[in-house]
Amino acid sequence: MSGTLGIIVDITLNSLVLGGVFLIVAIGLNIIYGLSRIMNMAHGALYAVGAYIGFSLVASGLNFFAALLIAPLIVGVIGLIIERTIIAPMRKRSMAYTLILTYGLMFFLDGSIKYIWGNKPRFIELPEFMQGTLPILGTDYPVFRLVTLLLIILIMGALMLFLNKTKIGIILRASSTIPEMVSCLGVNMSYVHMGAFVLGCVMAGLAGIIAGPLTTIDPLMGGEMLISSFVVIVIGGLGSLRGAVIAALLVGGVQTLAEFFITDLAMVIVYILMAVILAFMPRGLLGEGKFE
């Protein structure tokens, strides 16, 4: 039986892990929306594709960490193909076209997943050292979840460095607020949009392989995560990176607390939170319609 401190540690870590996964998925979605004004309805399906590819790579004998690098890259390549063949030709049309197209793509990817991997749940085999629990402040917490938390921090740190300190990152950010100026400076906006879409897809794939061992891999995981990540970006503010960070941690925390204390209403509470925030802040916590 866990003591009070153990319970607090458990809840805190569970909140951070859940919020962290929401964050990685939502950030990917936000990058695509913030830079390209595309609401990618297939983002959840790409997250699931990342998880399944990760599963197959590990099942074929590849090290988990190698799969963690390769699976998102494969999803990125899939994203590149999607962007060049489906999204780019529609870019000049209204957002509704890409919304419908990506919605159709979601069904195609979901169907492909079922065709290739079937319906049964899959679990990613973890390296020996990541199995078992670690005693922390009165509770035994799974090592894998702690590693997941560390990975999420590293991924977010790397993303921030990329966006703030690299030339490509600076171009991406500038393209969100002053695309005309960026274009005048000789930057090909088509490549910017392509880069944003691929980066968003890589994030989805990364979240998929991270979430795989944490929960389970099944054909429904994408649709459910898409809804959760929508909640996160709506609360945080469409296009806002900082807003997504706050919102993901808030949603993860509220959902975990609700599941612990008011189990029967756990799912409803998150939507009530969203409704309350939108009632007072219609553009979300930090939403300015800009990617920042």
Partner 1 sequence: MKRFITISLSIITAVMILAPYPVCAKKPVKIGVLVPLTGIAAQGGLEMKYGIEMAAREKGTVLGSPIKLLVEDTQVKPPIAVSKAEKLVYRDDCKALIGVLSSGVGLALAKNINKLNVPFLSTHVMTTKFYGLHPMVFRSGQLANDQTAVGNVKGILARPDLKNRTYYVLVHDYSWGHDAGERFIALAKKNGIKIYNENYDKAPIKTKDWSSYISKIKASGADGIYMAFITNVIPVFAKQAADFGLQDKVKLVSAAAPGPLELEAGGTACHGIFGVSDWSWDVNNPTSDDWEMRFWNEYKTIPSDAAVHSYVGAMNLFNAIEKAGSTDAKAIASALKGISYDGPYGTVRISAKDNCMRNDAVLTETMAASDNPFGATVYMKVLHTFPAAELGPPE
User: Is residue 7 at the binding interface for partner 1, with CB under 8 A as the rule?
Assistant: yes
CB of 118 to partner 1, least distance (A): 8
10, 29, 44, 172: which one binds partner 1 (CB under 8 A)? 10
Q: Rule CB under 8 A: say whether 103 interacts with partner 1.
A: no
Site string for partner 1, 201-220 (x = CB under 8 A): -------------xxx-xxx
CB of residue 272 to partner 1, shortest distance in Å: 15
> Rounded to the nearest whole angstrom, what is the least distance from the CB of residue 98 to partner 1 in the complex?
25
The residues near 83 (Cβ < 8 Å, ≥ 6 apart) are 193, 194, 197, 198
User: Do the beta carbons of residue 140 and residue 131 sit within 8 Å?
Assistant: no
Q: Which stretch binds partner 1 (CB under 8 A): 65-73, 150-158, 238-246, 253-261?
A: 253-261
Torsion of CA 95, 99, 102, 106, to 10 degrees: 170
For position 1 contacting partner 1 by CB under 8 A, the verdict is yes
Buried b (16+ CB within 10 A) or exposed e, 38-71: bbbbbbbbbbbbbbbbbbbbbeeebebeebbebb
Helices (H), 83-142: 95-117
- Which residue, 162 or 260, is less far from partner 1 as judged by CB? 260
Q: How many residues sit close enough to partner 1 to count as binding (CB under 8 A)?
A: 41
CB of 115 to partner 1, least distance (A): 12
Check binding of 120 to partner 1 (CB under 8 A).
yes
> Does residue 141 sit in helix, strand or coil?
strand
| Stretch of residues binding partner 1 (CB under 8 A), selected from 151-159, 200-208, 251-259, 275-283 | 251-259
Q: Does 127 bind partner 1 (CB under 8 A)?
A: no
When binding is defined by CB under 8 A, the residue of 36, 40, 175, 256 that contacts partner 1 is 256
Q: Exposed, middle or buried by CB within 10 Å (0-12, 13-18, 19+), for 92?
A: exposed
Q: What is the largest CA-CA distance in the chain?
A: 64
Give the CA distances from residue 59 to residues 48, 52, 67, 125, in Å, rounded to whole numbers and listed in that order: 16, 10, 10, 7
Asked if 6 touches partner 1 (CB under 8 A), the answer is: yes
